[in-house]
Amino acid sequence: MNYILKDENAVYYECGFSCDNVVFLKLGSEAFFITDSRYDTEANEYIKNAEVIITERRDMFPKVRELIVKARIKELVFDPKEWSLQAYEEFTKGMNSVVFKRVENFSQQKRIIKSEDELDILRKASEIGARAFDSFAKYLNESGLHVTEQRLHFEAENILKNYGEFGLSFSPILGVNKNAAKCHALPLLDKLDMGDLILFDAGVTYKRYCSDRTRTAEFDQNLNFSKTQKFNNKKRQEIYDIVLKSQEAGIKKARAGVKACEVDKACRDVIDAAGYGDYFIHSTGHGVGLDIHELPVISNKSETVLEEGMVLTIEPGIYLPGEFGVRIEDTVVITDAEAEVLGV
């Protein structure tokens, strides 16, 4: 198969290195990593299974076209999500003899089943992420009282990164009380007080692979981010227990041979039965790997049949506007038996 890639993680998957200005070209048995001189040293040091070609930045597309013409390529697969309209028009201009075949999420489709090496890295990433949750809980108990959400968010990032050792899967989501009712809350100037509900969604990257986890807890200076939580407020406890039961149902359902929509339904049925279906406002999960959001999608419309080696999140939630929100999330590996929960 002949294909072209521009996305950094897609390129990394092919050859073990990437950068912010690269074209990866696979033409039959040959592969080419085309970039500019800023990345000459690293590319030649780290690239596997591809020839490194260094050009001036303005000459990258002409060089790629030259390679395609020389190889007499008739069809080239590309992912339209990787291209701006301007870049695509510039690149394909005058190449009337080549059929450009659109395949959305081309690289993610290739990566949907993780190798054993990838699974080991993802397990390690999740272990690091879980330890960071424990470290953040310790910080909250010791220093979090009367600190603003914005400052807590800042401290969480530093703890997750272990002050430079790891990357972030995404900017952490941290919401207190009514702000936790927003799925992707932005941190406010509200200060954390005793008895407040706190929702924390975060992940780290290890060897470029992501972890992803969400916990909801009550701040009482003995806070922890386990899934066993006791709230002083009866309604919060009720909602938390429903979401936990929903997540457990989804994890139990998730195994090879089951459709993704069935996992979503298992979670949603619990919340619907409790009368809060209108407040579960997002899909149940998503794949995780080099990208924080990969295939498969775990939603009520997804007909994807789960296979052994897929890695995905299960993260139901209930969000009560103006009051609070609860979400519980774990990353799991699909097996023929019950899903393996990472980071526990």
* Per-residue model confidence as pLDDT tens digits over 171-183: 999 999 999 999 9
Kindly state whether residues 141 and 31 are assigned to the same domain.
no
Please, are residues 248 and 326 in contact by the beta-carbon 8 Å criterion? Answer: no
Which of 50-59, 92-101, 331-340: highest mean pLDDT? 331-340
Kindly state whether residues 166 and 56 are assigned to the same domain.
no
Q: Residue 254: pLDDT band by 50, 70, 90 thresholds?
A: very high
Q: What is the pLDDT of residue 221?
A: 83
Single out the residue in 81, 110, 139 at which a domain terminates.
Answer: 110
CA distance 128 to 140: 18
Kindly state whether residues 288 and 198 are assigned to the same domain.
yes
Q: What is the pLDDT of residue 106?
A: 98
Helices (H), the chain: 8-15, 40-46, 60-70, 85-92, 106-110, 116-143, 149-160, 234-253, 260-273
Kindly state whether residues 9 and 126 are assigned to the same domain.
no
- Partners of 175 in beta bridges: 199
Q: Residue 95: pLDDT band by 50, 70, 90 thresholds?
A: confident
Kindly state whether residues 178 and 276 are assigned to the same domain.
yes
Q: How do residues 52-89 score in pLDDT, each as one tens digit?
A: 999 998 888 999 999 999 999 999 999 999 999 999 99
Kindly state whether residues 102 and 124 are assigned to the same domain.
no
Strand, helix or coil for residue 189: coil
Q: Residue 190: pLDDT band by 50, 70, 90 thresholds?
A: very high
CA distance 125 to 340: 14
CATH code, domain with 217? 3.90.230.10
Q: Is 227 exposed, middle or buried (0-12, 13-18, 19+ CB in 10 A)?
A: middle
Burial letters for 146-167: b for 16+ Cβ neighbours within 10 Å, e otherwise? ebebeebbebbeebbeeeeebe
Q: What is the pLDDT of residue 94?
A: 85
Kindly state whether residues 74 and 159 are assigned to the same domain.
no
Please, are residues 304 and 294 in contact by the beta-carbon 8 Å criterion? Answer: no
Kindly state whether residues 84 and 19 are assigned to the same domain.
yes
Please enumerate in sequence order all residues whose Cβ is within 8 A of that of 142, keeping only pairs 6 or more positions apart, or say none.
none
CA distance 44 to 127: 32
Q: What is the pLDDT of residue 192?
A: 97
Average pLDDT over residues 123-127: 98
CATH code, domain with 97? 3.40.350.10
Please, are residues 213 and 202 in contact by the beta-carbon 8 Å criterion? Answer: yes
Q: What is the pLDDT of residue 147?
A: 98
Q: Residue 3: pLDDT band by 50, 70, 90 thresholds?
A: very high
> What's the structural domain count of the chain?
2
Would the pLDDT of 130 be above 90? yes
Kindly state whether residues 131 and 32 are assigned to the same domain.
no
Q: What is the pLDDT of residue 319?
A: 98
Single out the residue in 110, 144, 159 at which a domain terminates.
Answer: 110
Q: Residue 163: pLDDT band by 50, 70, 90 thresholds?
A: confident
Kindly state whether residues 94 and 120 are assigned to the same domain.
no
Average pLDDT over residues 101-119: 97
Kindly state whether residues 161 and 310 are assigned to the same domain.
yes
Average pLDDT over residues 127-142: 97
Find, among 338, 258, 251, 261, the residue nearest to 305 by Cα: 258
Residue indicated by tokens 């706190």: 198
Q: What is the pLDDT of residue 324?
A: 98
Q: Residue 344: pLDDT band by 50, 70, 90 thresholds?
A: confident
Q: What is the pLDDT of residue 313?
A: 98
Domain containing residue 84: 3-110
Average pLDDT over residues 32-59: 94
Query: pTM here?
Result: 0.95
Single out the residue in 110, 145, 178 at which a domain terminates.
Answer: 110
Q: What is the pLDDT of residue 79?
A: 98
Kindly state whether residues 87 and 124 are assigned to the same domain.
no
Mean pLDDT of the chain: 96
